[in-house]
Structure 1
Amino acid sequence: MKKSLKVLTAVGCLGVIAACSSNDTGNDTTSNPDVEVNKEGFPIVDEEITLSLMAPGTGLAEWKDMPTLQEYSEMTNIQFDYTTPPSSDFATRLNLSFASGDIADIIYGAGTSNLTPGMEVDYGRQGILIPLEDLIAEYAPNIQRLLDENPEIAKSITTVDGHIYSLPVINQHPHAGWAVPMWYNGEWLDALDADVPTTTDELYDLLVRFRDEDPNGNGEADEIPLLDVQMNSTRKAFIAAFGMKEWGIEEVDGEVRYAPMTDNYKEYLTYMNKLYEEGLLDPETFSQSDEQKKAKGQDNRIGLFPDWFSFFTTGQTEEEAVNNPMFHPLSSPITDEPLIPINPGITRGTFSITNNNEHPEASIRWVDYFYSDEGADFLNQGPEGYLFEFDENGERVELEIPSQYESSEDYRGTLTPAYGIPTPTVVQRVEGVELSPFDEFLDAETAEKVDAFGEVPIPLLYLTNEEQEIVNTIEVDLQSYVEQLEARFITGVEPLSNWDKYVETIESMNIEEYVDIYQEAYDRWASS
């Protein structure tokens, strides 16, 4: 894989963190006074210690064999016993560990899908997760610097009881705001001498041309103007064209609303149903796999499609992919201000210390290094001698990967844990690496089509235990119903004449209480 991919695999979301310190944590941390922690430099402890760490495994290598972790253990004098179940099993294993009390000293790389905000609040209240803000203030200068420089983000990582129980991944990469982008088939645009659309009407007209004018030039009517898998990647761009930022709870001028029951959402469904009925949206959108999508792309049958990079779908080289422009946010008859939803700037749940940990001071010092420029590069790229080396002039030189690996990403995943999971660090461009033409292309497209129109749907919020319980009881059925009806409305199985019945059903699911809870949580965030 190319250099541009190396950083994004570890991407969470662009943001930085801050925290409020408290002298009364309300939790007791078990610290071993016999082990002295050095507040600066390496080693962190003069006397070797061993900690236990639980994290999702990606299956490319055992963590104990990763050069990054081996070298860092030598630097710090801290050894680890690793428990790394497969990512698919991690949530279950983590929950069982919490339930049994046999929880590792450190929970690493979980992310909010596994260590949810509700779990942070609950296990923090129980004292199983310990508060981090005082430890940060005394032992984590790199994290504290980020906190001091960016106090607004404290609102998003401080729970309702005033404590921080988990550190985030902070993404400062130029493309950090991305949701999964959409890309146009540049060859098709060239064949039709067409421009990138900026309105919903222009997009409709272009998709019709994709369908009817044989842009792939094979003499067959096999073109698929637009496709996705379950609308999971294109949805954000299309709901945005009708004035929405999220397929669920969103904030608009300080007011929280549930977007899938608004008139805006009805307009989105109407538009997508039109595309589906006219053969402009792939009829297999709600049934195909990602592999099937990519196969169509490699056959040059797709005009507009989502993926992290267009060549992931088309099979082209980076040099060829420079000709595939990024989707431009659309205006529509109901909104003349294009927008694109972007990530909120932070992914929580990447590093927590439990009350079984006898060395919390050493643990916070251990992770603090990864929030420095040097440490972030070390975690993301591994030690010198694997992916890179420095020549006699101190210039960074990329190294050839071993022949048994298909890509540098596969190889990198054997060197460092910062692969495929959200790790506690600052993700940024590696200094000293020259940008490729593809990187420069992505930067330009991002500035023009993401940065210029991006809005965060709603800040990262924490709920109280009581609020979370109510939300949980409402959310499962609500999300399932909305998901099913989206597919039915778009495919025409459910006529849009049944819209009022759909809204009434949502109202019967205690949606008012659901929205009120998030409004209160947002108000707490805004006033904190």
Structure 2
Amino acid sequence: MKKSLTLCLTAVGCLGLIAACSSDDANTDSSSPSSSNVEINKEGFPIVDEEITLSLMAPGTGMAEWKDMPTLTEYSELTNIKFDYTTPPMSDFGTRLNLAFASGDVADIIYGAGSGNLTPGMEVDYGRQGILIPLEDLIAEYAPNIQKLLDENPEVAKSITTVDGHIYSLPAINQHPNAGWAVPMWYNGAWLDALDVEELPKTTDELYDLLVRFKEEDPNGNGEADEIPLLDVQMNSTRKAFLAAFGMKDWGVEEVNGEIRYAPSSENYKEYLAYMNKLYEEGLLDPETFSQSDEQKKAKGQENKLGLFPDWFSFFTTGETEEESMNNPMFHPLSSPITDEPLIPINPGISRGTFSITSSNEHPEASIRWVDYFYSEEGSEYLNRGPEGYLYELDDNGNKVDLELPAGYESTEEYRGTLTPAYGIPTPTLVMRYADDEVSEFDQFLDEETAEKVDAFGEVPIPLLYLTNEEQEIVNTIEVDLKSYVEQLEARFITGVEPLSNWDNYVETIEGMNIEKYVEIYQEAYDRWASS
């Protein structure tokens, strides 16, 4: 897989470059005493002259022990900071983290947790309790790369600052050209060619007409009526695009001109359900959408049975090569009878909860300096690709040359997961396309599709918000039953098990779940964010 393609799936390395930045005679004028009386070098490497050891807890992917990863071992030698790692499996990490907080036996650093494990509510709560320490002053003095990013991107600073004005966790910041993607959808280009389709649908009616043609005109050319015009797994990937066609940005609370609304109880959502039910009833939406696995979906793609389908890249589903997949155009956002403005929901490019320092840590200054490097372009690439000699080597001109995979590895990603922690978890770093990346023909294709069909119509559904402890408790009480109900009824409405004539009863049920208070809390949180 191409180097730059890897970057948009994960986050990023080059010891030769690091070494160039290191200094054997660190300037003592730029040093300052740590809270534990260990001198901190504010510039260059090592970070500390006297070796220190910290404890770090992170979700493990099972690819390799962190103590054996070259990226970490070589960076430890460079910085003079060693680690004792606790890396339970990803499936157990959330439970283990909660137990650590409850017992008070929490590591010095919590790394790669993500907002699913270290939730915004936990940041607020454990910050208030003093278990997570504020980072903003440490950043200002010891983390110039992070400070620069926050200064240049006020929305990032607002999105990681909690209700008490403190930053308790660092984010992954994604500035890659594909950063805005949710899960895109792709058309089967061979089918478009077979039907002489010269322009992609731009309205819901035009899409309906094309899906009918997919179903009825044998575009895969096998003489059988086995075409599946559109499919998904639980609507989890296509939902956003179809909600957007009816003027919605999210399957929950969303911001519309400064006002918060709950989309699944709006008239827009009713129109979305009616449209999807029509596709389902006419066999245009795969009848197994709510029962199949992702593997079953991909099997259908490899049998050339799919006309429009979601996946990160189309060849993940079709089994084609990158070159062949460039014939599969990305879905164009749609307008509909109730909205003239096409839009597509996009990610904010910020993943919270990737790095926190706890009150157990005797070296917070050294810790923030340690992570700050990964927010530079050089450090980001080092974290993602690892040091020289594994995925690449440097030629006589200092250019990176990819190396052959060692025996026993089927893909670059599989091998990379043994070299660096930046694999399968959200890591504290800046994700980007690097200056020395070779932009392949496939990358150019993706860039053009993204510019035309995502960037031109993209909107973030709602900023990343923090709630107070009291607000979070109320939201938690409402949300569990609310989400479960809406999810069940979506499937029932689309498949026709629940007729849309029962819409009013559905809305009344949602209103009875205290949705007014739910929206009010998010409105107040949004107003705080907007005025901060």
Common fold, TM-score beyond 0.5? yes
Shift of 1:32: 4.4
**Residue 16 of structure 1: aligned partner:** none
For 1:38 and 1:394, locate their aligned partners in 2 and report how far apart those are by CA, in whole Å. Answer: 28
Q: Deviations over 1:345-388 (max 9, x none)?
A: 21110000001111100000000000111101100111111111
Which of the numbers 315, 322, 335 marks the counterpart of 2:319? 315
Which residue number in structure 2 is paired with residue 208 of structure 1?
A: 212
Separation in 1 of the partners of 2:146 and 2:35?
23
Distance across 2 between alignment mates of 1:152 and 1:408: 34
CA contact (8 A) 1:31 1:357 kept: no
Deviation at 1:444, TM superposition (A): 0.3
Contact 1:11 1:176 in 2 (8 A): no
- Whole-Å separation in 2 of the counterparts to 1:279 and 1:193: 22
How far, CA to CA, are the matches of 1:393 and 1:11 in structure 2? 26
User: Any gaps of 5 or more consecutive residues in structure 2?
Assistant: 13-32
Contact 1:294 1:312 in 2 (8 A): yes
- Separation in 2, partners of 1:149, 1:96: 37
Q: Which runs of 5+ in 1 are unaligned?
A: 13-29
The aligned residue for residue 347 of structure 2 is 343
2:483 paired residue among 447, 470, 479? 479
- Residue in 2 that maps onto 1:5: 5
Q: Check the 8 A contact 2:36/2:362 in 1, yes or no.
A: no
Amino acid at match of 1:398: D
Q: Hey, what does 1:522 align to over in structure 2?
A: 526
Q: Is the 8 A contact 1:2 1:408 kept in 2?
A: no
Cα distance in structure 2, aligned partners of 1:408 and 1:480 = 39
Paired residue secondary structure (2:150): helix
Q: CA deviation at 1:415?
A: 0.7
Q: Report 1:15-414 matches (<5 A).
A: 32-194=35-197, 195-414=199-418
Aligned to 1:443, the other structure's residue is in SS state helix
Q: Are the equivalent residues in 2 in contact too, given 1:186–1:324 (CA < 8 A)?
A: yes
C-alpha separation in 2, matches of 1:395 and 1:103: 42
Work out the CA distance in 2 between the residues paired with 1:210 and 1:187: 11
What amino acid is aligned across from residue 9 of structure 2 in structure 1? T
Q: CA deviation at 1:59?
A: 1.0
Q: How does 1:432-511 map to 2 (within 5 A)?
A: 432-511=436-515
TM-score, normalised on structure 2?
A: 0.95
Q: How far does the alpha carbon of each residue in 1:404-450 deviate from its partner, in whole angstroms, 9 at most, with x for none?
A: 11111111111111111110000011221211111010000000000
Cα distance change of structure 1 residues 204 and 11 upon mapping to structure 2, 3 Å threshold: farther
Question: How far has the Cα of 1:101 moved from its partner?
Answer: 0.6
Counterparts of 1:79 and 1:390 in 2: how far apart (Å)?
27
| CA apart distance, 1:86 | 1.0
Q: Runs ≥4 in structure 1, deviation > 6 angstroms?
A: none
Equivalences, count: 511
SS of equivalent to 2:40 = coil
Give the secondary-structure state (helix, strand or coil) at the position aligned to 2:418.
helix
Contact 1:396–1:433 (CA<8 Å) still a contact in 2? no
User: Cα 1:31–1:480, aligned 2, differ >3 Å: closer, same or farther?
Assistant: farther
Instruction: Tell me which amino acid in the other structure corresponds to 1:307.
Output: D
Between the aligned partners of 2:109 and 2:135, the Cα distance in structure 1 is 12
Offset at 1:149?
1.8
Structure 1 CA distance, aligned partners of 2:214 and 2:380?
Answer: 44
The residue that corresponds to 1:21 in the other structure is: none
**For residue 293 of structure 1, what is the amino acid of its counterpart?**
K
Work out whether residues 11 and 422 of structure 2, in 8 Å CA contact, stay in contact via their aligned partners in 1: no
- Cα drift, residue 462 of structure 1: 0.4
State the 1:482 CA deviation.
0.1
Could you give the per-residue CA deviations for residues 154-186 of structure 1, whole angstroms, max 9, x where no partner exists? 211110000000000011100000000000011
Find the residue that maps to 2:39 and give its secondary structure: coil
Contact 1:210 1:225 in 2 (8 A): yes
Structure-2 separation of matches of 1:3 and 1:183 = 22
Q: Measure how far apart 1:11 and its partner are.
A: 5.2
Task: Work out whether residues 54 and 83 of structure 1, in 8 Å CA contact, stay in contact via their aligned partners in 2.
Answer: yes
- The one-letter code sitting in structure 2 at the alignment partner of 1:448 is E
Q: Percent identity?
A: 84
Per-residue deviation at 1:35?
A: 1.3
> 1:135/1:463 Cα in 2 relative to 1: closer, same or farther (>3 Å)?
same
The question of whether the paired residues in 1 share the 8 Å contact of 2:3 and 2:438 is answered with no
Distance in 2 between residues matched to 1:403 and 1:114, nearest whole Å: 35
Aligned partner of 2:429 among 410, 416, 425: 425
